Amino acid sequence: MLLPELKLRRDKIRLLMAQQEIDAALIACNVNLIYTYGRVVSGYLYLPLNAPAHLFVKRPNNIEGEHVRPIRKPEQLPDLLKECGLPIPTRLMLEGDELSFTEYKRLAACFPETEVLPCGTSLIRKARSVKTGMEIEMFRRSGMAHAKVYEQIPTLYKPGMTDRQLSIEIERLMRLEGCLGIFRTFGQSMEIFMGSLLAGDNATAPAPYDFALGGEGLDPSLPIGANGTLLKSGQSIMVDMGGNFYGYMGDMSRVFSIGKLPDKAYDAHRVCLDIQEAVAEKAKPGAVCEELYRLAIDMATKAGFADYFMGDAQKARFIGHGIGLEINEMPVLAPRISQELEPGMVFALEPKIVLPGIGPVGIENSWVVTAEGVEKLTLCQEEILVIEG
Amino acid sequence: MLLPELKLRRDKIRLLMAQQEIDAALIACNVNLIYTYGRVVSGYLYLPLNAPAHLFVKRPNNIEGEHVRPIRKPEQLPDLLKECGLPIPTRLMLEGDELSFTEYKRLAACFPETEVLPCGTSLIRKARSVKTGMEIEMFRRSGMAHAKVYEQIPTLYKPGMTDRQLSIEIERLMRLEGCLGIFRTFGQSMEIFMGSLLAGDNATAPAPYDFALGGEGLDPSLPIGANGTLLKSGQSIMVDMGGNFYGYMGDMSRVFSIGKLPDKAYDAHRVCLDIQEAVAEKAKPGAVCEELYRLAIDMATKAGFADYFMGDAQKARFIGHGIGLEINEMPVLAPRISQELEPGMVFALEPKIVLPGIGPVGIENSWVVTAEGVEKLTLCQEEILVIEG
């Protein structure tokens, strides 16, 4: 990645550090290394407030550069800093929400005279929540590839298929279009394969994960998504795959059906599209996350779908979430989130309704906040699509 | 999962706790919850030394049982323990290598009078390293499904394919056979999609991850595995997919070629098969990990392949690794690991050689340690297989 782009990102972090009088960051976690160094390495990016960043790398062993040094273990860091002419920091931040307890303690112990702070995760996540022009471009391309796959979904269905089998054919197309497959989440307890396909009542099954909808899954070791449901008429099918084409987790859901659905499904789907339109209309710099959430809840309630909005027996307590290198970034469109939207934020908006006996309906698109409003990045037909009738 | 199986697992952990005078464990990480509760939940399994385990669950909201209570936040734990008639523990272990620093601190702060220890990860990993009969059966079934996919690989190739395209077709077959797809690793910095397919010189590319071989990958955000190499004659192709069919990460590699390879490739492949045979012959209860490693290195060196054994410019420093719910469990067949094999341990043995100008050769199978020796779980032809010629 070009240095000006990396410098831009590092300076966004430095600005937040300066506000808290933090004079260095030690970055060791993959997504933050991608963000600040442009790729995954095994090692540490040391980011001083007032000097160039230095990479101390274990693996791979073929990275060279002016500010790159090999390292075997973190205990070498103080000596390496000295060799590079860098002072031992006074206040150092580590990735406290991402490093394990023992890794954090080991790194902190390398700097016995330093005040070590765990706020690295929150500061870097804050910096990452406002995307650079290049990051938005990655999302734009990702959205196009994602939409190209979804357009082909109706051709993948064969009578007698289960949700799992259809999902596998979609996963294959995603991969052929360039999806890297890996689905990065923030928080050690969030996990999913490439995304989910929910058919019929499986969408009502509550999951342990904090995704918008659940699904029973195929095994108790991964209880989320498709559960082997036979696809049949009268049932809605929601495809919600993660679109990691360039490291950036685009998000997009569409609903399909085999034959026509009961009228109620189209009514509920229309409510979701209306919510999307109303929220997108209000979403602009300065818009408050919880107010956008409230608007969605109010519309769903007024339309008579309060009980089934964002889940059935167990509901998601958000209608949208920031996306980036991970699927769950800031901001979150949820209750008690007073954060305001800013230009460059990218988020998924996913008003969804689960109808017992029919299945999930609704919509999800990825959006970028512009100077005046929001722009949709995942352009693809939004009505419920009949895939065989 | 049946309670006797869960009790067996919990008692393996309890025994290790008793040896360190630990009177309770608080388990919050997914793989350890799968191990001790049989499924992923969002919440905590509280495992006292001398009382039944209790589940305190946030999500999903439909789990019920004698020892199950809902919880919203960990700060409720002391009151919930009291309600369940359980004393506040004196020495409590947490998953120190898996919980984030901030999560660990938050949980520890719930027990201000308790001595909190971070050894939960190492104790539970030790318990997990010796599999139960049911776990071995999961591996056995997983190995059969894995082998069934690999047998079909020659039929997937089409002229003009890249490594990525062939990999995608294999991934699809793995999924159709029941692979859950998700690839669980221990340690936040280890990540990969479903596995790797390495063709030709891409196998020499060093990676940031501590897998046996590297590969450049398709994007700097995931620099591992296939890189878009066109598959052509004279080049070896190694398929190394993770076989997560039932939550258990089986491991298996096979080598393919388009047409015949230079003689050197067959010589090197034979050396790897011989190493596998010799190590498997010595591997039995009481065998020392580092001695098995040394045996492999000595054989590779004697055969003249020291420079290319387990990698080219960057080498893996192991020839095998425990497998289980994660791909990298104990024991590790590596230098300075004096651990002895025990009946019920399951490991992958993967002697591999990378030949510049040709590509990777060698073998990987999953093995279980029996009372007298080891048994192979991944049964499938082991010679280099010509897929078109």
The per-residue pLDDT for B183 is: 97
Select from B100, B134, B186, B202 the residue whose CB has the most chain A CBs within 10 Å, as the one to mutate to test that interface. B100
B189-230 pLDDT tens trace: 999 999 999 999 999 999 999 999 999 999 999 999 999 999
CA distances from A229 to A191, A192, A193, A216, B145 (A): 21, 18, 18, 10, 21
Contact list in B for residue A6 (CB cut-off 8 A) is: none
Q: What is the mean pLDDT of residues A35-60?
A: 98
Delineate the domains of chain A, giving CATH numbers in brackets: 3-127 (3.40.350.10), 130-388 (3.90.230.10)
| Interface pTM, i.e. ipTM | 0.97
How far, in whole angstroms, is CA B132 from its chain's centroid?
Answer: 16
| Residue B305: band (very low, low, confident or very high) from pLDDT cuts 50, 70, 90 | very high
Nearest to A174 by CA among B194, B40, B147: B194
Nearest to A359 by CA among A254, A256, A237: A237
Contact list in B for residue A36 (CB cut-off 8 A) is: none
**Burial readout A239-266 (b: 16 or more C-beta within 10 A, e: otherwise):** bbbbbbbbbbbbbbbbbbbbeebeeebe
Q: What is the mean pLDDT of chain B?
A: 97
B92-144 pLDDT tens trace: 999 999 999 999 999 999 999 999 999 999 999 999 999 999 999 999 999 99
Q: What is the mean pLDDT of residues A345-366?
A: 98
Nearest to B368 by CA among B144, B140, B186: B140
Contact list in A for residue B220 (CB cut-off 8 A) is: 1, 34, 38-40, 247
Between chains, do A175 and B168 touch, taking CB under 8 Å as contact?
Answer: yes
Q: What is the mean pLDDT of residues B19-45?
A: 98
The pLDDT of residue B386 is above 80 = yes
The per-residue pLDDT for A1 is: 74
pLDDT over 70, % of chain B: 100
Collect all residues with Cβ–Cβ distance below 8 Å to B138 and sequence separation of at least 6: B245, B246, B247, B248
Nearest residue of A to residue B119 by CA position? A102
Strand, coil or helix: A252: strand
Residue A281: Cβ within 10 Å count: 12
Select from A1, A221, A222, A317 the residue whose CB has the most chain B CBs within 10 Å, as the one to mutate to test that interface. A221
Amino acid identity of B44? Y
pLDDT over 90, % of chain A: 98
The per-residue pLDDT for A389 is: 58
The pLDDT of residue A33 is above 70 = yes
The pLDDT of residue B1 is above 80 = no
Length of chain B: 389
Separation CA B101–CA A97 (nearest Å): 6
Between chains, do B40 and A221 touch, taking CB under 8 Å as contact?
Answer: yes
Strand A329-333's sheet: what is its strand order? Answer: A329-333, A320-322, A346-349, A365-369, A374-376
Length of chain A: 389
Helix axes B30-37, B120-129, angle to 10 degrees: 50
β-strand partners of A252: A241
- Report DSSP state, residue A81: H
The per-residue pLDDT for B389 is: 58
The burial class, CB within 10 Å (0-12 / 13-18 / 19+), for B68 is middle
Cα angle for residues A341, A140, A335 (degrees, 5° grid): 30
Separation CA A193–CA A182 (nearest Å): 7
Q: What is the mean pLDDT of residues A21-44?
A: 98
B52-95 pLDDT tens trace: 999 999 999 999 999 999 999 999 999 999 999 999 999 999 99
| Residue A81: band (very low, low, confident or very high) from pLDDT cuts 50, 70, 90 | very high
A222-259 pLDDT tens trace: 999 999 999 999 999 999 999 999 999 999 999 999 99
Q: Comparing B389 with A15, which gets the higher pLDDT?
A: A15
Q: What is the mean pLDDT of chain A?
A: 97
B220-259 pLDDT tens trace: 999 999 999 999 999 999 999 999 999 999 999 999 999 9
Shortest CA gap A274–chain B (Å): 29
Between chains, do B223 and A171 touch, taking CB under 8 Å as contact?
Answer: no
A274-319 pLDDT tens trace: 999 999 999 999 999 999 999 999 999 999 999 999 999 899 999 9
Extract the tokens encoding B47: 């495992």
Q: What is the mean pLDDT of residues B1-24?
A: 96
- Report DSSP state, residue B308: G
A110-123 pLDDT tens trace: 999 999 999 999 99
- Report DSSP state, residue A237: E
A186-224 pLDDT tens trace: 998 999 999 999 999 999 999 999 999 999 999 999 999
pTM: 0.97
Examine residue B60 and say whether the peptide bond preceding it is cis (omega within 30 degrees of 0). yes
Phi and psi for A345 in degrees, rounded to 5? -70, 145
Between chains, do B222 and A176 touch, taking CB under 8 Å as contact?
Answer: no
A257 neighbors A384 (Cβ within 8 angstroms):
yes
Between chains, do A100 and B105 touch, taking CB under 8 Å as contact?
Answer: no
Separation CA A154–CA A156 (nearest Å): 5
Contact list in A for residue B59 (CB cut-off 8 A) is: 206-210, 314
Nearest to B229 by CA among B359, B350, B361: B359
Separation CA A227–CA B364 (nearest Å): 31
| Backbone region of residue A279 per phi and psi (left: phi > 0; alpha: psi in -120 to 50; beta: other values) | alpha
pLDDT over 70, % of chain A: 100
The per-residue pLDDT for B188 is: 86
pLDDT over 90, % of chain B: 98
Q: What is the mean pLDDT of residues A48-55?
A: 98
